[in-house]
């Protein structure tokens, strides 16, 4: 099965958790359905949810929590 890439629509800082003291939205190996929030991108002090745009199992988060991302950069890979 080919991999599906979830990309950040905007540049900014990628977060895997809704808040620093909370658990990550999803971990590698978790299944997700289309429309589920899997991360946040902070752009200019506002937060935008990044949602899975397909169903699948998370194979990898190529970007670590709190790292900068460019628009179009892959933030999660789904199997």
Partner 1 sequence: MKKTGIQKLLIANRGEIAVRIIRAARDLGIATVVVHSDADTESRAVQMADETVNIGPPMAAKSYLSIDAILTAAKETGADAIHPGYGFLAENAGFADAVAAAGLVFVGPDGNTIRLMGDKAAARAEAEKANVPTVPGSDGVIKDMDAAAEIAEEIGFPVMIKAAAGGGGRGIRVAHDAAEFRELAPQASSEAAATFGDGGIYIEKVIERARHIEVQILGDGENVVHFFERECSLQRRRQKVWEEAPSVALNDRVRDELYRSAVALAKAVHYKGAGTIEYLYDDETESFYFIEMNTRIQVEHPVTEMICGFDLVAEMILIAGGTKMGVTQQTIRRTGHSIEVRLNAEDPANNFMPFPGIVGNLLTPDGPGVRFDHMLYPGYAVPPFYDSLLGKLIVWAEDRDRALLRLKRALDELQIEGLPTTAPLFQALLESEELQQSAVHTRWLEPWLENNLDLIKQKGAQTHE
What Cα–Cα distance (Å) separates residue 53 from each residue in 19, 20, 72?
22, 25, 13
> Per-residue x/- marks for partner 1, 37-76, CB under 8 A?
------xxxx-------------------x-x--------
The secondary structure element, H or E, covering residue 48 is: strand 46-51
Nearer Cβ to partner 1 (5/42): 42
CA-to-CA distance for 34 and 52, rounded, in angstroms? 5
Number of residues that bind partner 1 (CB under 8 A): 12
Residues that bind partner 1 (CB under 8 A): 10-13, 19, 21, 43-46, 66, 68
């Amino acid at each position: 099965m080919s991999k599906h890439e979830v990309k950040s629509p905007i540049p900014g800082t990628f977060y895997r958790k809704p808040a620093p003291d909370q658990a990550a939205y999803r971990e590698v190996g978790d299944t997700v359905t289309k429309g589920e929030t899997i991360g946040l991108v902070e752009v200019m002090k506002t937060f935008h949810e990044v949602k899975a745009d397909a169903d699948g199992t998370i194979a990898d988060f190529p970007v670590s929590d709190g790292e900068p991302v460019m628009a179009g950069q892959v933030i999660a890979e789904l199997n």
